[in-house]
Amino acid sequence: MTHYSVNSSNYISTILQVTLSSTSQVFCFHTVSNLSIELGRKIAYQFSAKNSTVKAVYEQGNFWLLSHPSNTTDQTNWQEDYNAIAQRLRPQFGNLDLTLTPVDFSSIPTSIISQLVRVILSTSKQRLELSLIEKEFYQIYRQLEVIPETFFPNQAGIALNWKTSIKPTETIKDYWLRHNKDEGKLLKLAVKNRFINRTGVIDSIIGTCKTERDRLLSYDLIPKTREIIQNSDDEDLVVSVKQNNTDSYGDYVIDGLELSINPKNCHLIGLDQYERYRKLAKISLAQWTDLLEQGKKFVQPILKDWGIQVSKDYVNSIDNQDIFFHSNKFQLDTVQLLFGKGKQFPRDSIKKGLTQGGVFSCHQNFAQEKKIKTVALKLCKDKAKNLLNELTSSFEEVGFQVEFIKKIPIEVSGQMSEDDVAKIDSELKRAIALKPHLFLTILPEGDQQLDDTSQGSYYHHISQQLLKQGIPSQMIKVENLNNRYIINNLVLGILAKLGNLPFVLAQPLKVADCFLGLDVARLRKSKGNGTQNACACVRLYGKQGEFIKYYLEQDRLEGEEVTPKILRKLTPQQDLANKTVLMFRDGRFRGKEIDFLNERGKANNTNFIFVEVTKTKTCRLFNYHQLQNGKKQLQIPHRFLIFRHSNRAATVVTTRPQQSVGIANPIRITIREEGDVPEFKLVLEATFKLCLLHHGSYQEPRLPVPIYASDMIGYKTLKGLYHTNPEGDCQWWL
């Protein structure tokens, strides 16, 4: 990466470097039997929460403990502390009797130092929260988020990010009393633990505190929760909460819970417009400057008390020239896309490329005649003639004709009625018999907001039927009938849905023969009771970023780890054998996914490059201008700005939104060392350029299309919208 150019701009991150004053404060213990990551971290949390002078983390079978300089506890007591924790957790996890074996170490991994520092700050009694709005039942505030980081060359740090949050000012008990103790108001309510970051949905009423108090107090509890249970009134309810993202339940006294606010329930606290909160959530550049200074002043004295030194300034390009990189190599006006007739244009000239060259390749359905047989279904009284005419003209500009073989006007109103559904189903049956290429539907106002209601929406009902028949569909909201700005996006998306390739990269990517995206989608169940997971699909792309095919898998998953059975289906031998395959994982590879893929790769002579792309829990990046008074004036970060964590990991900015929209959220790219490890610049180049190949919109996403699409397909699949064909060559999800 050293040959990336650093231009005249200055760059800064939200990372502060941290250094331990003495390694004598740190102890490491190995467990003979490796604990699960979840359980190991829970035990480490217990070490940290129960003892104000000890902080612990669990990593790869080892407990790392940091002792406060004032702590005089003998090292031999660590085993006793562990035994006490194991005893408390026994009712929940069974026998956890293990021997902690001291481990000699010459140096402490920087990732461990960063994690220990985060634990110090997260378990501190001090909190940095800045109130923005305070109302009777809610408060909107800014909150400091501490993220453990490392950066080149092998330095420890913490990222001080800020986020805007909303919280109720009342507990669930207050909410219950405000509604005259109506127990029905509590069921299916989205809630969160007041003291730790845990959310879920109230599933049932267990009883009252009078009958359940002793049982609850027998569990291992943090002090604040124990205090709540002890002080609750006898008549206070105890409820069972189904925890989000797991299949486990927990029993809570209602005074230990509060509402978990989202767009669907914000009215319960008097916030009628969730959009108002979204606007407040945006943090301006000037506000970031002030918040970063406040964050630094807040953490410095806390960490100093633990013998940890904090850098005076955030990690920046002047002090760390080998960390920040920015290259014009990936700018939109320098990356050429290939259209039909050999025409080449950059991403910001898609319309010119399609009108002058046409699509790069046509689907076999249009090899002889570029005529799109279309059925138009209008579910409103508004006139759609102008929109349909503009669509027809725009398709002609790119070399396709639209033939409306049937137009179906059905005026519906409000929620779905069975009379209207019966009419639609009859018309659909007749229209499908005509074997159209495309089904175009004008939806009534507000229809998609009804998706999650028991009655359902026309969007879902029609989409589901057409997908079962394998017919591409395009839905248009009635509100957009007179919006001329959507025409270009509609044309581009429809071309791709029908199996055409509008454009590819003019120059092939060098890092791999093909590219796959793997993602696990997660969706809250219809009544909010927990979540369900599905690894719905992977997409296969070639060296020029050309879409080859998708593989669809409808099996549900217990967690986020994709099973060997599903991975085998999603990595067919006939497509991947004797090739180098770069696999993007949205988030982190889980469990033994990589072990199985390597085993499968060895059997099929496939070399896998495993690349994780994470959208959260990474530092923020900015450009900045040095003022004469020595202060830094933050600026919007350059697109394709790179922050180097190591030779295999970097945080990168892949978008540059308008300042009114917000400041770009970077993504983190990590090459896992268990697979092939090519030159990092080639992986970055592939990631950046694959962001340019989205065929659903003129606006490209911040993620490379293999995982951008997987996420979208997974969401549709969990909503019951999946294609009848388990594999295919049309991008039906756009």
CA gyration radius for the chain?
28
How far the first Cα of the chain sits from its last, in Å, is 35
Q: What is the dihedral of CA 23, 29, 34, 38, to 10 degrees?
A: -60
Q: For residue 220, what pLDDT is reported?
A: 75
- CA distance readout (Å), 643 to 6, 444, 510, 613: 12, 46, 22, 14
362-497: CATH superfamily? Response regulator (3.40.50.2300)
- Rounded CA-CA distance 346/352 in Å is 10
- CA distance readout (Å), 500 to 127, 370, 372: 54, 11, 12
- Rounded CA-CA distance 694/547 in Å is 10
324 phi and psi angles, rounded to 5 deg: -95, 135
Q: For residue 329, what pLDDT is reported?
A: 66
Residue count of the chain: 734
- Rounded CA-CA distance 320/305 in Å is 27
Q: For residue 6, what pLDDT is reported?
A: 44
Residues 203 and 529 sit within 8 Å (Cβ to Cβ) = yes
361 phi and psi angles, rounded to 5 deg: -150, 145
10-residue mean pLDDT profile of the chain (734 residues): values are 55 97 89 79 86 90 92 74 85 82 92 96 89 90 95 96 91 93 90 87 92 89 88 94 75 94 83 76 92 97 96 94 82 85 94 96 92 93 89 95 94 82 93 95 82 77 92 91 89 96 97 92 48 67 95 72 88 95 93 95 97 93 89 90 96 80 87 97 94 90 85 72 86 89
SS3 breakdown of the chain: % helix, strand, coil, rounded to 5?
35, 30, 40
Q: For residue 64, what pLDDT is reported?
A: 95
Assess whether the previous peptide bond of 678 is cis (omega < 30° from 0): no
User: 17 forms bridges with which residues in the sheet?
Assistant: 157
Q: For residue 626, what pLDDT is reported?
A: 87
Residues 31 and 98 sit within 8 Å (Cβ to Cβ) = yes
Give me 335's structure tokens.
């990356």
534 phi and psi angles, rounded to 5 deg: -150, 135
The secondary structure of residue 315, as a DSSP letter, is -
- Rounded CA-CA distance 91/84 in Å is 13
- CATH number of this structure's domain 508-618+666-728, picked from the four choices 3.30.70.20, 3.40.630.30, 3.30.420.10, 3.40.50.2300: 3.30.420.10
- Rounded CA-CA distance 36/56 in Å is 16
Angle between helices 385-397 and 487-497 (to 10 degrees): 60
Prediction pTM value: 0.87
Q: For residue 4, what pLDDT is reported?
A: 45
- Rounded CA-CA distance 240/355 in Å is 60
- Rounded CA-CA distance 281/667 in Å is 19
Please name which of 365, 438, 464, 375 lies closest in space to residue 716, comparing C-alpha atoms: 464
Residue type, 697: S
Q: For residue 523, what pLDDT is reported?
A: 54
Q: For residue 631, what pLDDT is reported?
A: 84
Q: For residue 666, what pLDDT is reported?
A: 94
Q: What is the dihedral of CA 192, 562, 557, 573, to 10 degrees?
A: 150
Sign, CA dihedral 442-443-446-449, equals negative
SS3 9: coil
Residues 437 and 373 sit within 8 Å (Cβ to Cβ) = yes
User: 141 forms bridges with which residues in the sheet?
Assistant: 131, 165
- CA distance readout (Å), 149 to 40, 300, 319, 545, 590: 20, 17, 18, 32, 20
Q: For residue 306, what pLDDT is reported?
A: 95
SS3 486: helix
Residues 6 or more apart whose Cβ sits within 8 Å of residue 501: 359, 360, 361, 546, 547, 695
Q: Angle at Cα 17 formed by Cα 16 and Cα 21, nearest 5°?
A: 130
Please name which of 186, 111, 188 lies closest in space to residue 147, comparing C-alpha atoms: 111
Spell out a b/e string for 446-470, using b for 16 or more CB atoms within 10 Å of the CB, else e: ebeebebeeebbbbbbbbebbbeee
